[in-house]
Amino acid sequence: MEFEKYKVMQFPRDVIVGHSVMHTIPSLIPLYSRSDEIVIITGNTTYEIVGREIEGMLKDANYSPHVIKTGDATYDNLMKCEEEARGVKPGIMIGIGGGSKIDLTKKAAFDLSVPFISVPTSPSHDGIASPRASIKKGPVILSENARMPIAIVADTSILIKAPYRYLAAGAADVISNVTAVLDWKLANRIKGEEVSSSAATLAEYAASELIEKAHLILPGVEESVWLVTKQILASGTAMAIASSSRPASGSEHLFTHAIEMTGKGKAIHGELCAMGTVASMFLHGGDWKKLVSVFKTLNISLKSSDYGLTDEEVIDALSTAHKIRPERYTILGESDLSHNAAQRALEITTII
């Protein structure tokens, strides 16, 4: 039989992380674009904190930045951003913000076929370095194919301004790789799904770094932001190697998406990942107690009620999460997890 395997991997060209690195942005532009026209997608608050300064730096370097201030990552906002950006005909786009602005830029840049620079202002999840965008259409959150950033500029002096809760959540999103990889290996055994061992190893490494160094992830310490951001970027690289979110997204993310889709409660992405990864580790028969203590160190609660969720909503999400992406085989299986099993996972993991 002829050899027919092939794989496409997309990586960012420049990843710049550390103190005050946003000042490198003007010098990056000519590497990727011959046009002076730049579209910046950001939000009102982020514009005041950092967007205005970046706009000023670009103007000083004789570029023509066009700022689009938008809101949540909804399909309507995406259409508005794309329409406005098309009128500008930018050579490059820059997304400045937490999750939603980066998601909108990622997808808009993909649709307009222009490169984009990711400038995260919150270290709260691994989407800042991935090629997929979560866009909300009505009640449904779509995980859309989008563009990998051509450059990531993660300035720790900006990221430190986000509340500690976001940093802890970002760490939890990376730590959840442990169950994502267990699910991937399970899918390999049960379904014959291909596993990239380099991607799996890197994803596990990123998680283990943060598990071991959880006590160093502290509020108000820029080095803590550095620690977490580096592993968020490593997670992104694992996804790039795999050409899929598989190494960083398994049953714990299916659970997370199941809750996110209900729109209930006020937990942020990484906090749901923390709950999901503990429950999933329990179902895998692994060391879930260690995860519970790590999340405690990060001051992340695993109790549904702390997020305005009822136990029943969490049990329901855990039982039915397998339906969200049926092609992604995980420990949650292919039929509803029994109510008893889900309830037990919830009770045991939230007792400590």
Nearer CB in complex with Zn ion: 125/284: 125
Nearer CB in complex with Zn ion: 117/232: 232
328 conformational bin, left if phi > 0, alpha if psi -120 to 50, beta if neither: beta
If residue 142 lies in a helix (H) or strand (E), which one and from where to where?
strand 140-145
Looking at 7-15, 158-166, 173-181, 296-304, which segment touches Zn ion (CB under 5 A)? Answer: 173-181
Q: Whole-number minimum distance, CB 271 to Zn ion, in Å?
A: 11
Nearer CB in complex with Zn ion: 43/250: 250
Q: Whole-number minimum distance, CB 206 to Zn ion, in Å?
A: 12
Q: Whole-number minimum distance, CB 130 to Zn ion, in Å?
A: 9
Q: Whole-number minimum distance, CB 169 to Zn ion, in Å?
A: 9
Nearer CB in complex with Zn ion: 33/330: 330
Q: Interface mask (CB under 5 A) for Zn ion, residues 100-139, using x and -?
A: -------------------------x--------------
Nearer CB in complex with Zn ion: 125/136: 125
Q: Whole-number minimum distance, CB 168 to Zn ion, in Å?
A: 14
Q: How many residues bind Zn ion (CB under 5 A)?
A: 2
Residue nearest to Zn ion (CB): 173
Q: What is the full DSSP assignment across 143-192?
A: EEE-PPPSEEEEEHHHHTTS-HHHHHHHHHHHHTHHHHHHHHHHHHHHH-
Q: Whole-number minimum distance, CB 224 to Zn ion, in Å?
A: 19
Would you call 262 helix, strand, or coil by DSSP? Answer: helix
Residues numbered 141 to 160 that lie near Zn ion (CB under 5 A) are none
If residue 16 lies in a helix (H) or strand (E), which one and from where to where?
strand 14-18
CA 148, CA 279: separation in Å to the nearest integer?
31
Q: How far is CA 26 from CA 42, 43, 45, 95, 288, in A?
A: 17, 20, 22, 14, 46
Q: Count of H helices and E strands in the chain? A: 15, 8
Nearer CB in complex with Zn ion: 66/107: 107
Q: Whole-number minimum distance, CB 338 to Zn ion, in Å?
A: 26
Nearer CB in complex with Zn ion: 173/271: 173
Q: Whole-number minimum distance, CB 331 to Zn ion, in Å?
A: 17
Non-local (6+) Cβ contacts of 1 within 8 A are none
Nearest Cα residue to 90 out of 140, 32, 139: 32
Among 173, 209, 252, 260, binds Zn ion (CB under 5 A): 173
Residue 267, phi then psi, degrees to nearest 5:
-75, 145
Residue 252 in contact with Zn ion, rule: CB under 5 A? no
| Pairing, β 140-145 against β 37-42 | unpaired
Looking at 94-102, 168-176, 187-195, 217-225, which segment touches Zn ion (CB under 5 A)? Answer: 168-176
**∠ at Cα 234 (231, 238), nearest 5°?**
140
Nearer CB in complex with Zn ion: 128/214: 128
Q: For the chain, how big is the Rg over CA atoms in Å?
A: 20
Nearest Cα residue to 10 out of 185, 240, 215, 205: 240
Q: Interface mask (CB under 5 A) for Zn ion, residues 67-86, using x and -?
A: --------------------
Applying CB under 5 A, which residues contact Zn ion? 125, 173
